[in-house]
Amino acid sequence: MTTQASPAGQRFALGPTGIELFKSLFFIQRAPLAYLVESAHRYGDLAHFQIGTQHAYLVSSPSAIKRVLLDNHRNYAKNTIQYRQLAQITGDGLLTSDGDFWMSHRKSAQAAFTPQRLERVLAFALSETQAMIDQWQAQSKRQGYVDVDMYETMCQLALRVVGRALLSIDLSQEAPKLVRAMENALEHIVYRVTRFIDLPDRVLLSTWRFRAAVQTLDQAVFSLIAQRRNMPERPADFLTDLISTTDDGQPLSDKEVRDEIVTMLIAGHETVAAGLTWAWHLLADHPAEQAALRRESQAVLASGRLCLETLPKLRLARCVFSEALRLYPPAWLITRRALGADVLDEHFVPAGAFVIICPFIVHRHSAFWTEPERFLPQRFDPEQEHSRPRFAYIPFGAGPRLCIGQHFALVEAIAVLALMTQQCRIERIPNTRPATPLAQVTLRPPHGTKLRVRLECP
Ligand code: HEM
């Protein structure tokens, strides 16, 4: 154990020391998620690592997570390597900013997620999904099925929905290029975070791909802002809100508007896409659950137009998506920096400590979940949900920094699940294995992992 000054009566967290600690740096780079899971298993709900002079804590109990994200959230800032590096792409957008700046932008952004706007999200999710199914229908004419890289396809779908709902634009042409640009930029960030390279982009030479990716995003977004500023009649959407917003009497600059849009594009597409992709993989391996979901979708969709009021009828679709987010939380890592010393579950945490919360670990914690490794959507029935601590399930984070797009994501995902199961059967391709999760910025299957989509008449 490493020494830290702690007030009397409080305990120190346990963790690797000596050669074990040295080895851990190697494993963090190679398999960060597996390493964190193993550490929680070995050292418990509060594991401690000392990396150089830095103290890091892996926090896995709902009570300690509640303290970090809610009860004492002011003590925990986003000034971590994860968010500093992400800010190289998103600038001072909502996800990476802090303090008064973040709060004023969060208040303004809330308007984009009202029920009225969510009705648009639902309508666009349905129309974009139907267009995708129609395309599969045409492609599958000869064989009756089409083999699909589900993650790639869900990324493009989710980006088109964000484009339409928040920016009133059709991204069907640009989606592949933008998805690739965001992925290249994010891959670079993951490389640096797992190797503890916390330098500004301009200091490093090996970043041409990253810069090209950011340039692609900048070109697309700045030209969109310019077009919108010149429009005499602007559509009622997030982009118009941003352009019209005044912060202390000053309209947002193009750079501020750009940062918020890039943030929404990134935060709003990969996460939903990863969650849906895992749902499809799980359903492919659980045909009985898929058949039950198909019966629900066909019944609900036959009974009239889907709108926010009728969406709760798709109960099983919601349970399936919630369970996919439990087993494979797309945002698998939430980090904070302790501004002052604190006590988490009676353990001393010094000022400056790096705090790591891994939803993947808490979502499979055997003290709070029965048969945690099994796919059991019914555990999200409202009666069962109430029997668990709130902070044992945090796919969207919690506290004031709770995901602003949570309802956007749920509405979209439920619509996609319902429409696709109504018209398609999703199967594993014969002789392929279940996908293993890849811990990138989001938790996703490896590229090129395909599923078979068999078209069915509704
Ligand atoms: C299944 C889908 C999604 C998941 C799992 C997810 C997860 C999360 C999590 C865990 C956080 C909190 C991070 C932290 O506390 O450090 C977060 C924040 C955020 N998310 Fe999501 N998200 C999803 C969908 C979306 C969508 C659809 C949008 C926008 C259209 C969005 C926009 C944001 C933004 C802007 C923040 C920062 C909010 C703030 O700090 O004020 N997310 N998300």
Q: Contact 394/359 with Cβ under 8 angstroms? A: yes
Q: Measured from the CB, is residue 399 less than 6 Å from ligand 1?
A: no
Best substitution site from 120, 403, 404, 444 to test ligand 1's pocket, by max atoms within 8 Å of Cβ?
Answer: 403
Residue scoring higher pLDDT (27 or 212): 212
Residue scoring higher pLDDT (234 or 1): 234
Q: How far apart are CA 276 and CA 325, in angstroms?
A: 9
Q: In the predicted model, what is the mean pLDDT of the chain?
A: 90
Instruction: Characterize the bridge pairing of strands 347-349 and 342-344.
Output: antiparallel
Q: Work out the pLDDT band at 199, boundaries 50, 70, 90.
A: low
Strand runs (DSSP E) across 99-245, as ranges?
Answer: 145-149
Q: Work out the pLDDT band at 2, boundaries 50, 70, 90.
A: very low
Q: What is the largest CA-CA distance in the chain?
A: 74
Q: Which of 446, 396, 409, 394 is nearest to 187 (CA)?
A: 446
Residue 200, pLDDT above cutoff 70: no
**Ligand 1 mean position to 181 CA, how many Å?**
20
Residue 24 has a pLDDT of: 72
399-408 mean pLDDT: 98
Residue 446, pLDDT above cutoff 60: yes
Q: Measured from the CB, is residue 396 less than 6 Å from ligand 1?
A: yes
- Residue identified by tokens 């959407």 is 237
Q: Measured from the CB, is residue 359 less than 6 Å from ligand 1?
A: no
C-beta atoms surrounding 39 within 10 Å: 24
Q: Measured from the CB, is residue 306 less than 6 Å from ligand 1?
A: no
CATH topology of domain 18-455: Cytochrome p450 (1.10.630)
Q: Dig out the tokens for 372 from the structure.
A: 């945690």
Residue nearest to atom 7 of ligand 1 (CA): 396
111-128 mean pLDDT: 96
Q: What is the pLDDT of residues 5-57, one digit of tens each?
A: 556 567 777 777 777 777 777 777 778 899 899 999 999 999 998 877 788 99
Q: How far apart are CA 428 and CA 434, in angstroms?
A: 8
452-456 mean pLDDT: 93
Q: What is the pLDDT of residues 258-292, one digit of tens each?
A: 999 999 999 999 999 999 999 999 999 999 999 99
* Residue 89, CA distances (Å) to 198, 213, 299 in order: 14, 9, 44
The helix (H) or strand (E) run that includes residue 149 is strand 145-149
Atom of ligand 1 nearest to the CA of 105: 41
Residue 1, pLDDT above cutoff 50: no
Q: Dig out the tokens for 36 from the structure.
A: 């964190």
Residue nearest to atom 27 of ligand 1 (CA): 268
Residue 360, pLDDT above cutoff 80: yes
Residue scoring higher pLDDT (88 or 16): 88
Q: Measured from the CB, is residue 419 less than 6 Å from ligand 1?
A: no
**Which of helix, strand or coil describes residue 67?**
helix
Q: Work out the pLDDT band at 428, boundaries 50, 70, 90.
A: very high
Residue 3, pLDDT above cutoff 50: no
Q: What is the pLDDT of residues 316-353, one digit of tens each?
A: 999 999 999 999 999 999 999 999 999 999 999 999 99
Q: Work out the pLDDT band at 67, boundaries 50, 70, 90.
A: very high
**Ligand 1 mean position to 96 CA, how many Å?**
11
Atom of ligand 1 nearest to the CA of 398: 15
Best substitution site from 80, 83, 103, 271 to test ligand 1's pocket, by max atoms within 8 Å of Cβ?
Answer: 271
**Ligand 1 mean position to 397 CA, how many Å?**
8
Q: Contact 430/317 with Cβ under 8 angstroms? A: no
Q: How far apart are CA 418 and CA 276, in angstroms?
A: 12
| Domain chopping of the chain, boundaries | 18-455
Residue 245 has a pLDDT of: 64
Q: Residue 343 is which amino acid?
A: V
Q: Measured from the CB, is residue 264 less than 6 Å from ligand 1?
A: yes
Q: Work out the pLDDT band at 210, boundaries 50, 70, 90.
A: confident
Q: How far apart are CA 329 and CA 324, in angstroms?
A: 7
Residue nearest to atom 8 of ligand 1 (CA): 396
Q: Measured from the CB, is residue 268 less than 6 Å from ligand 1?
A: yes
Q: Measured from the CB, is residue 407 less than 6 Å from ligand 1?
A: no
Verdict on whether the full-model pTM lies above 0.75: yes
Residue 458, pLDDT above cutoff 70: no
Residue nearest to atom 11 of ligand 1 (CA): 403
Residue 206, pLDDT above cutoff 60: no
